[in-house]
Structures are given as structure tokens and as C-alpha cells.
Structure 1
Amino acid sequence: MSRVRSWVVLFIALAMVVAACGDSTQETEETTATTEAGATETTEAAATETTGGTVERTEVTVLAPNPSAVIWFQLCSAIYQGFLEEEGIDASFEAVDGSGAVLQAMAAGQAEFGIPGPGPVLSARAAGEDPVAVYNGFAQALFGLVVLEESDYQVPADLAGTDAPTVIGVGTAEGSEVTFVRPILVDAGLEEGVDFEFLPVGDGGPATAGFERGEIEAYAAAVPDMAIIEARGLDLREITPSEYKTVFGNGYATTQSLIDSNPDLVQGFVNGLVKGALFAEENPDATEEDCAQMNPEEATDPELARALMDLTMVISRSLNGDPWGMYDPQAWEDWGQSLVDDGTLEEVPDTSAAFTNEYVEQAHETVGG
């Protein structure tokens, strides 16, 4: 269990933070953070008094698939350090249950920005929706395929069922963990519905119960979920093939229709994220305080919240040295091909339309870093 073992001390510390904010997946959790109290409507003009007069701002909603604040550290500082306000944006943060719910709300016009995974973005586009990723929130892999260490499973191919499909737990049926793990299993020669099947069981806490009750044999885990399961007394073995550990994760997205109608708003939002990331890099203590304002419950143990933020900042950085928020076009093509290989999509989508680096490049040119 290479990755889990190497991070085990830190993950035990992270476990209670994530358990407090992410174990309940049966109901939508919401945390609203605004640059000015009372701003909860979306895409409407707001005004604030400054020494130079009245500045009009646009209210937007940002939807996340997880209520944690520290894992979206750049947004915390973008809001509470006033970087988005400098761009004329008043942002509210809300959490829903998974990437599918994020994209559904965006498609329905209920949010201007969201933080979905790349697999769900490509699937949504194939279904006729128009999400476009504009900032890479996690440049490294967020997920892994884990089994109990006491089990006989050593590699993904071992999960092939005999008399019935092997049950693999996932957080939600439409979450990014599903689109991450399915290609691993298909590449191993397994067929969904014959050799394996997915069972939504929730995050780390409920997944622990799923293992204990024998309901699942493996679990598609986010990195913090691994910590929760081990912290609750179960030893895990990660069987994720090495080539999958550099697959990027969730990022900030908007819709093509908003890009077409208001590109300045999109540029301003990305400017705020880049400013927030650069600020966090130099001022992690202040960013931790920003995140505490966004999610006070998560900050009840500041040592644990800080540990999670520090880990998040590590896996948010590109392994090849790209600046904050940049996407690798080849990585998107790999995601598209994997969705075809595992049967999620019938043909490789036009991945070039699913993301853009334009706004991140302009932001770095404008703000530096």
C-alpha cells in the first residue's frame, strides 16, 4: 500500500477533518461564503461603497462537490482576501453531492461556476451540455483503488468475480471516482456487470462500514478517504497502477454560454483564483484563516485543517512545473480515450472544447507568478 503507507501519519491527522465534513452523502450540505454579507443571489449586479465611489459587482455562485473549504484553498483566499471583489465579483460558495450534481446545477443556470471532475465534464458534453474547465484545481490524482490489506487482491485483475460480480464501493454513482476507477478495471480485462459492479456507499466513514459488513470488496477512494478508513481501524492496500497516479482531478469550470456572453466575468474569476493560489503559496497561515471563515466547522481543530490544506497544496501543483491552474492538453485526451475504453462514451470526445488555458495564461500574465 505504497501511497497510503507513505502518508499514513499525516492521513491519520486528516481523518477527523474529512470525517466531520464529508461522511454524510445522503443530504446536500451547503456552506455559503460571500465577500459581503447578504449576497446570495446569482449573476445580479451588486454595489459596494468605496472611497472612490460606488463600484458595481456581479454576484456569482460557485458549487463544489464536497463541503470542505481547505481543499479549495485558492477560492478561500480569492474571496476573503478580496481578490474577487477587486475583479468586480461577489462570490458565494455552496457544496452539493458530487460532480454530477455540480454539473446539473450549472446546466440549469443555478450556478455560474463549479468544481467538477474531468470525466463528468466530458460525459456532460457528450450529452449535449456545455461545461468548460477553466482552472486546474488538482493537477495530480485524487483517487485510488483500495482493498483490505488482509484480502487476497493484489492487482485490479484479481477483482474479477467468479459466481457474481465483485462489488466495488464508490462515493456517488456519478462521481469522479467512478470515471477514474472504471478504466483501471477495464484495462485489467474486467467487464462491468459481469466481473465487477459499483455500489454507492458514501465517503470514507460509510465506506469503512461497507468493508466491515462485507458489502464491498474494494473501494474507489479519494486520498483523504483512505485516511478515514485506516483511522477507523482497517488496514488498506492500494492497487492503483502507477500510470494512473498522475491523472489530474477536479477543476473550476463554467459554461460555454457564459464564456460567450460574459468573457470578462470568467477572466475576472480566474484572475481571483490565480491571485488566491499565489497568495496561499506565500501566506498559508492567512489562507488557513480564510478557509476557516468559509467552513467554521472544519476549522474546529486548526491543526488538522492545516494538515489537509498542506496536502491539498502539494497535489494541486503540476508535476512538470506548470503554473497554478494550467491544464495539460494530452492529459485531457487521455481522459477522453479512457472513457471510450471503459464504455462510458461511444467515441472520443473533442477534448479541446472541454477546457481552455486562455484565462489562466492571461491571469498569470496580468498578476504575475
Structure 2
Amino acid sequence: MFKKIIALASSLALSALCITGCGPTSSDTNQTEDKKTEKVTIAEVTHSVFYAPQYAAITQGFFEEEGIDIDIINTNGADKTMAALISGEAQVGLMGPEASIYVYNQGNENYAVNFAQLTKRDGSFLISREEMPNFKYEDLKGKEILGGRKGGVPLMTFEYVLKQNGLTIGENTAAGEVNIRSDVQFGVMTGAFVGGEADFTTAFEPTGTALEKDGNGHIVASIGKDSGEIPYTSYSTTKKFMAENKDLLQRFTNAVYKGQLWIQTASDEEVAKAMQPFFTDISQDDLVSVVNRYKKVDVWSQDPVLKEDSLNKLMEVMKEAKELDKEPPYKDIVNTNFANNAIKNVK
């Protein structure tokens, strides 16, 4: 899939002039009193409460304090997020670090560099059609599951958990194999599941809670809890943009870290209230429930440093999924200077 990124990025670049001309870019500035505000577009891989520290950093004014005006576009997939980044439609991408690994290994000179980690576990949950209060992974033998895009971290992490629990992945469900389908696009998996496809699906919040409320599914397991810590989602930008916008990226990382610190001490109700402007179709009570669920799983990073051993764990998962044959140097695709400086400077 990622082999198509460069071609997709090229086509996006032709339309980016129109797209970014109607929205914010880092080169656009506003004067507010004596302070210059720079606009930054974040392309997020999906729109989810999973990214609570980001939304809190916006609504609590942390980006504003750093002189940054944020615009967010939802791309529905890491491949599309990377394409938006490479084409210039967005200045910062929020996605799994695996995307930068794929692009680096393709030999793209202007590859993506990860500079701030946001989440440290898989934020998806396993959804069944029936209530299963005593669910065990062996219950998935002979079942069909909608797992996400091939090569994406959600699918690879889920497969990793299944293998750790002694299950065999394959299409022979009659022999007890677990059939993990990757033919349904991430953005329409929920609709396909509700429409009757597969026995289980995976979903992030608030989708999982919505399925339960509508009587269309039941959350039976946290994939993030069962897979262990992994650098699941991070901010990245192109090598060229990083070289030319160090001060901007430092201020961006400062704001992210402020959001991470704030969310560690805020109540579930306070976090839900901070996110409400981004999830107006979800009740406050449901948001509180979702926040509590994510806190229990411990999905959010305490600071923005993407450590080398964490990246190695991700690459272990990728190799287990047979999606990685060459490990890129950590120092090439990760820059921790901005994160470490944020920890020093933000009080």
C-alpha cells in the first residue's frame, strides 16, 4: 500500500495549492496585538478520543500560548496521512511511526521524521456481536474478524496479540484458524460490521461505545492492554520542513507536552469537557466514559520522547507481521531534540 504513497502524493501536490489556499499553512500568519500566530495543519490518521492530549492542548490554549493556530484534517488512514504530509497539504502528520519507516525504506530523500510521541499503546478494542463477559482469545478460533489495513499498526498489533495467545491466522476457519480480513477500508469497517460482515471487528473510541449504545456490538477486550507498550501514534514532519522550521516545531512540541501534563492530573470530566468541541455529536456522559476507559488502559504518553527501545518493539511487531525486511536507523527517522527541550523548558 505504501508503495502508492509517492504517486498519490504527487497527485495531491497538484491540488494542494487549492486545498491549502483555503485552509491554514505554516507560512500564513496573523497579527494578534504584538504576537505573530503561525498556522499549522495537522493531518490525523483518524478522528478519535484516543488523541485526547492533542485536543486538550488546543482547547486549553497551549498551542495559542506558543503562537500556533491549529487546523486539523482527518485523512482516514496512515497512507493518506503520509501522502498529505509529503504533498504539503499538511505540515504535521499524526500517525503510527510505521508510515515513516515504509517511506524511508523506499528511498525517499524527503522522508518523514518523528519528533513527538502522543500515545504509547494500541487504542483499539475488540468488538463482538454478543456479550462475552468471560471472553478469552481462544474464543476467536474459527472466527472472521475485520482487522484494518494491511501494513497498518492496528492490524499488525492485533495479529501480534493473537499469535502471543497461541492462535493461528489464516482463512481455514473450519480448522480453527482466525481469518483476519484486511479487505475493508478502515473508515468503513464499522458500517460493514453493522451490515453483517464478520463475527468481530476492531474499533477505536468513541466508535466502540457508540456500537454498544446502539446495540450493534460489545467491547470484549482492549488490544492495547494485551499488546503492551508500543509507540502507537506520533507527530512527524518531512525532513525538509523540519530543517527549515525548527522554532515552530519546538513550540508545537511544547504545546503537546503541556497537553500531556495537563491530562495526567485532570479529572475524567475535565478531559471530556476539553474535548467536547471536537466531538459535538457525543454526549458529555459518553465522553467521560470513554476517557475513563482509555485512562484505565494507560494509552497516553507522559512525555513526547519516542525512545529507541519503543521503536524496536514496533519493528518487532512489523517483522512478526512480515511487513518489514530492513530496519531504518533510529537517528534517521526519530528526532528527540524537540521533545527533550520541551521537557526542560515547560514547567
Q: TM-score, normalised by structure 1?
A: 0.70
In 2: Cα distance, 1:246 partner to 1:302 partner? 29
In 2: Cα distance, 1:218 partner to 1:365 partner? 45
Q: Which residue of 2 aligns with 1:126?
A: 105
> Of residues 266, 272, 276 in structure 1, which corresponds to 2:255?
272
Q: Tell whether 2:179 aligns with 1:199.
A: no
Corresponding letter in the other structure for 1:272? A
Q: Tell whether 2:41 aligns with 1:64.
A: no
> Of residues 295, 312, 316 in structure 2, which corresponds to 1:333?
312
* Residues 271 and 291, structure 2, Cα contact 8 Å, conserved in 1: no
* Residues 122 and 299, structure 2, Cα contact 8 Å, conserved in 1: no
Look up the SS of the partner of 2:119 in the other structure.
Answer: coil
The verdict on how the C-alpha distance between 1:168 and 1:263 changes in structure 2, with shifts beyond 3 A counting, is same
> Of residues 291, 297, 303 in structure 2, which corresponds to 1:309?
291
Q: Tell whether 2:225 aligns with 1:246.
A: no
How far is the alpha carbon of 1:333 from its aligned partner?
A: 0.5
Look up the SS of the partner of 1:297 in the other structure.
Answer: coil
In structure 2, stretches of 5+ residues that fail to align are 1-20
**More displaced stretch, 140-149 vs 110-119:** 140-149
Equivalent residues, number: 312
**More displaced stretch, 75-84 vs 182-191:** 182-191
Q: Tell whether 2:60 aligns with 1:73.
A: no
Corresponding letter in the other structure for 2:291? M
State the identity as a percent. 18
In 1: Cα distance, 2:307 partner to 2:199 partner? 34
* Residues 46 and 59, structure 1, Cα contact 8 Å, conserved in 2: yes
Q: Which residue of 2 aligns with 1:135?
A: 116
How far is the alpha carbon of 1:330 from its aligned partner?
A: 1.3
In 1: Cα distance, 2:276 partner to 2:147 partner? 28
Q: Which residue of 2 aligns with 1:169?
A: 146
* Residues 124 and 222, structure 2, Cα contact 8 Å, conserved in 1: no
Q: Tell whether 2:158 aligns with 1:181.
A: yes
In the TM superposition, what are the counterparts of 1:1-369 in structure 2 within 5 Å? 40-50=23-33, 53=34, 55-68=35-48, 70-129=49-108, 130-144=111-125, 155=137, 159=141, 167-172=144-149, 175-184=152-161, 188=166, 190=168, 196=179, 197-200=181-184, 202=187, 205-209=190-194, 213=196, 215-222=197-204, 224-231=206-213, 232-235=215-218, 237-238=220-221, 244-284=227-267, 288-293=272-277, 295=278, 297-298=280-281, 301-313=283-295, 315-318=298-301, 323-368=302-347
* Residues 50 and 123, structure 2, Cα contact 8 Å, conserved in 1: no
In 2: Cα distance, 1:122 partner to 1:310 partner? 32
Corresponding letter in the other structure for 2:79? G
Corresponding letter in the other structure for 1:278? L
In 2: Cα distance, 1:193 partner to 1:350 partner? 35
* Residues 114 and 252, structure 1, Cα contact 8 Å, conserved in 2: yes
The verdict on how the C-alpha distance between 1:199 and 1:248 changes in structure 2, with shifts beyond 3 A counting, is same
* Residues 267 and 359, structure 1, Cα contact 8 Å, conserved in 2: yes
Look up the SS of the partner of 1:309 in the other structure.
Answer: helix
In 2: Cα distance, 1:114 partner to 1:81 partner? 21
Look up the SS of the partner of 1:136 in the other structure.
Answer: strand
In 2: Cα distance, 1:57 partner to 1:114 partner? 20
Corresponding letter in the other structure for 2:289? A
The verdict on how the C-alpha distance between 1:209 and 1:173 changes in structure 2, with shifts beyond 3 A counting, is farther
In 2: Cα distance, 1:282 partner to 1:157 partner? 38
Look up the SS of the partner of 2:82 in the other structure.
Answer: helix
CA RMSD of aligned residues (A): 3.5
* Residues 113 and 334, structure 2, Cα contact 8 Å, conserved in 1: yes
The verdict on how the C-alpha distance between 1:347 and 1:366 changes in structure 2, with shifts beyond 3 A counting, is same
How far is the alpha carbon of 1:306 from its aligned partner?
A: 2.9
1:141-193 deviation per Cα after TM superposition (whole angstroms, max 9, x unaligned): 32355655689x95469647xxxxx7431344564312322444566574667
Look up the SS of the partner of 1:168 in the other structure.
Answer: strand
